[in-house]
Amino acid sequence: GLLAGLRLLAVGVFLSSCFGTVMFSDLSVQKDGSSLLCRPASDDQGPVFERMSLTYTPCSDHFKVGERSFSRQYAHIYAARLMQMRPLLTERALQKWGSDVVIRRLCDLQIGEQCCIVGTLFKRMDLQPSILKEISEEHNLLPQPARAKYISDVDELILEDELQRIKLEGKIDRDKCVTGSVIAIYGAERNDGKFTVEDFCTADLPMQTPRPPFLSLSRFVLLASGLGLGSSRADSMLGLQLLIDMVTGQLGDQGEQSGAATISRVLLAGNLLSQNTQDKDASTKAKYLTKKTQAGSVDAIRLLDELLLQLVASVPVDVMPGQYDPTNYTLPQQPLHRCMFPLSSVHPTLLLASNPYQAAIDGVKFLGTSGQNVCDIQRYSSRDSHLEILEETLRLRHLAPTAPDTLGCYPFYQKDPFILEECPHVYFSGNAPVFESKLIKGTDGQEVLLVTVPDFNSTQTVCLVNLRTLECEPVTFSAFSTDDEESEMNISH
Amino acid sequence: MTTKHRLITDSFKVVKKARRGGKQEKRATPPPPQKDAESEAEKEELQKLKQFDLDWRFGPCTGISRLQRWERAKLHGLNPPEEIRDLLLKTYTDPEYNFSLWSEYPL
């Protein structure tokens, strides 16, 4: 009713076409004499555009947590991480500084000797919130303020191996590094017990299986994140409905509809619900006062189910949970439970996935998260660009180096599942402030498309990845801007 | 450490219950060994397992079983001794063999 009415007034799907060969915007461009303005050609239904279905292999098994034991300490995850990364970094160190470089453990370190050490970085940060600080200063306790950045000038960078640690100085940018990264450093220990770094290296990109050769047809995967249902901003719903209508082919003329048919899969990268659905009352108020109140997320999940129903009836959809979604908080986040989606979960096209997400779509390997790992590194380093941080995690060969230090994480002991064992073709993170993408090439011929998927609620933007060319373009939905609405209101009064 | 130190509690059983928390907890006495005569072989086996626990190359040993720790070391190519695994598989019902040296202590 209301939405349909509005759609007639203000519909604009802006496809920003730029460089490249076949972009989505080229496929769905309106042909001369738009068919919408003509009399229907005949009484029959018109052409049917078949959506191309692609082979799909989920590879997220190592992000599923079977047994849930919380009796272990986090020492195991750091130990396993170093065990897994040490051989890789030793190899890189030999490549970079020559095969005659001396690789030492910290316990065998000689003062003044030029050598290489493999270890885990630890950044001691004064501003890092700590529960121990609060307990020890319990007398006149001041709550530690939430900050955008927790770095300061007195931070110290320390390298740890299995037994010892050493303070680092020299040619390594303290503010850019984060706790938990495994690196190799080259330099020498000085008399004062600090290590002067001359150079350092990361594990860099893992090996990649080449993409399968494609037919000439372009197929697209649509990435979106941060739908933010249940937020106070009601106007965001129009953009969302436009998105669904575009994907399901209910928008535009035959050209646009045939374009929509090339979207073979939709991936929703977290924060389907808005932060507003997490009411703080439940944890602070007494139970008997909140007994009869309904959780804020109930209505939002119901709405999500209805929206998903429209999508899954037409296209396969992967749903990843994010920071504000009703699943576990610690990474890896387990898939949302299907009982929350009574309408859409009957369709086999709804795939409830884990966060991080890993799958091969028609042979193209996707790997990504809903953005918590990137946001956490942003808080604990001087880096600001999500794309830059995303690339850095790929170079470190680790999805979430700051877990478990400042990012919640399950206490694994056998293996660290966040270490990248194979190079993905598309590496993304969700809930970014802006859309950015970049194609990087590795030294062993790897080709990776990095994408920061923007928060839909604030940007009304999603992105389309071309599986054939690994190109990526944003699609922005714009209805009434708030300014228009206000001016219109003014006129009518 | 080659000889096992005899503790006073081996001869005199602990009567007092360990107090909760604080230093007392940290020094909690290890469980009294079984009454039935501990054979030399058994002692030697346990000694080997303790040495395995104390080998830093295989990572921390608290919170996981000895076999889990052995398997992790194997997975990452650290060549843990095979005899430890055989011993652990043979004695998998006995908690004294299954869990690490520190398993009696609170985390």
Task: Check if B79 contacts A (Cβ < 8 Å).
Answer: no
Name the more confident of A19 and A72: A72
Q: Given an 8 Å threshold on Cβ–Cβ distance, is A80 in contact with B78?
A: no
User: Nearest-CA neighbor of A373 among A316, A430, A441?
Assistant: A430
The answer to whether B24 and B18 have CB atoms below 8 angstroms apart is yes
pLDDT in tens, A67-123: 888 888 899 999 999 999 999 999 999 999 988 999 999 988 888 899 999 999 999
Fold of A10-30+49-58+207-277+294-480: Purple Acid Phosphatase; chain A, domain 2 (3.60.21)
A139: confidence class by pLDDT, cuts 50, 70, 90: low
The predicted complex's ipTM stands at 0.76
Peptide bond into A143 cis (omega under 30): no
pLDDT of residue A281: 59
Is B80:B88 a contact under the CB 8 Å cutoff?
no
Q: What pLDDT score was predicted for residue A236?
A: 65
Give the per-residue pLDDT at A349. 92
**Number of C-beta neighbours around residue A130 at 10 A:** 12
B-chain residue closest to A415, CA distance:
B72
Instruction: Let me know how long chain B is.
Output: 107
Query: Measured between CB atoms, does A8 come within 8 Å of chain B?
Result: no
Tokens in use for A428?
Answer: 């993304």
A56 touches chain B (CB under 8 A): no
Nearest to B63 among A71, A83, A84 (CB): A71
CATH 2.40.50.430 fits A76-128+149-201, yes or no: yes
Q: Is B57 on the interface with A (CB under 8 A)?
A: yes
Cβ pair A76:B59 closer than 8 A: yes
> Which of B63, B71, B78 minimises the CB distance to A72?
B63
A23 has a pLDDT exceeding 60: yes
Q: How far is B60 from chain A (nearest CA, A)?
A: 6
Q: Which are the contacts of A341, defined by CB distance < 8 A and separation ≥ 6?
A: A301, A304, A305, A308, A350, A352
pLDDT tens, position by position, A335-369 = 999 999 999 999 999 999 999 999 999 889 999 99
Query: Any residues with CB less than 8 A from the CB of A181 and at least 6 apart, and which?
Result: A120, A121, A202, A396, A398, A401
Which is it for the CA torsion A370, A373, A374, A379, positive or negative?
A: positive
Q: Which residue has the higher pLDDT, B43 or A395?
A: A395
Residue A57 identity (one-letter amino acid): T
Q: Does A107 touch chain B (CB under 8 A)?
A: no
For chain A positions 143-162, those within 8 Å of chain B (CB to CB) are 162
Domain positions in chain B: 39-107
Q: Which of A9-18, A150-159, A406-415 has the lowest mean pLDDT?
A: A9-18
Q: Shortest Cα distance from B100 to chain A (angstroms)?
A: 13
Does the pLDDT at position A449 exceed 70? yes
Q: Is the dihedral of CA A382, A386, A388, A394 positive or negative?
A: positive
Which residue in this structure is represented by tokens 């003044």? A112
User: Cβ neighbours of residue A352 under 8 Å, at least 6 residues apart?
Assistant: A319, A335, A336, A337, A338, A341, A345
Residue-wise DSSP of A128-187: S--HHHHHHT-TT--PPPP-S----TT-EEEEE-SS-EEEEEESS-GGG--TT-EEEEEE
CB contacts of A414 in chain B (<8 Å) are 68, 71-72, 75
Provide the shortest C-alpha distance from residue B87 to chain A (in Å).
21
* Nearest residue in chain A measured CA to CA from B77: A83
pLDDT surpassing 90 at residue A397: yes
**ω into A145 cis (within 30 of 0):** no
CA A345 – CA A335 distance, rounded (Å): 13
Per domain, the residue ranges of chain A are 10-30+49-58+207-277+294-480, 76-128+149-201
Contact A83 B59 (CB under 8 A): yes
Asked if B71's CB is within 8 angstroms of A83's CB, the reply is: no
Query: How far apart, in Å, are the Cα atoms of A105 and each of A86, A109, A117, A174?
Result: 11, 7, 6, 22
Q: Which two tokens stand for residue A70?
A: 């919380």
User: Looking at CA atoms only, how far is residue B97 from chain A in angstroms?
Assistant: 19
Task: Please report the pLDDT score of residue B49 as a whole number.
Answer: 87
- Per-residue pLDDT of A144-200, as tens digits, reads 677 888 888 999 999 999 899 999 999 999 999 999 999 999 999 988 889 999 999
Hey, which residues 4-43 in chain B have their CB within 8 Å of chain A?
A: none
How many CB atoms sit inside 10 A of residue B92's CB? 13
DSSP assignments along A249-292, one per residue? T-SSSHHHHHHHTTEEEEEEES--B-GGGS-THHHHS-HHHHTT
User: Nearest CA of chain A to the CA of B105: how many Å?
Assistant: 12
pLDDT in tens, B29-51: 555 555 555 678 888 888 888 88
Q: What is the token pair recorded at A174?
A: 């303290």
Residue of chain B whose Cα is closest to the Cα of A88: B76
∠ CA A112-A114-A118, rounded to 5°: 115
| Beta-bridge partners for A440 | A448
Chain B contact present for A347, CB below 8 A: no
Q: What is the pLDDT of residue A388?
A: 94
Tokens of A16: 């920003």
B78 touches chain A (CB under 8 A): yes
Does any CB of chain A come closer than 8 Å to the CB of residue B63?
yes
Q: What is the mean pLDDT of residues A317-324?
A: 93
Q: How far is CA A125 from the centre of its chain?
A: 26
- Yes or no, beta carbons of B78 and A87 under 8 Å apart: no
Domains A10-30+49-58+207-277+294-480 and A76-128+149-201 equal at CATH topology level: no
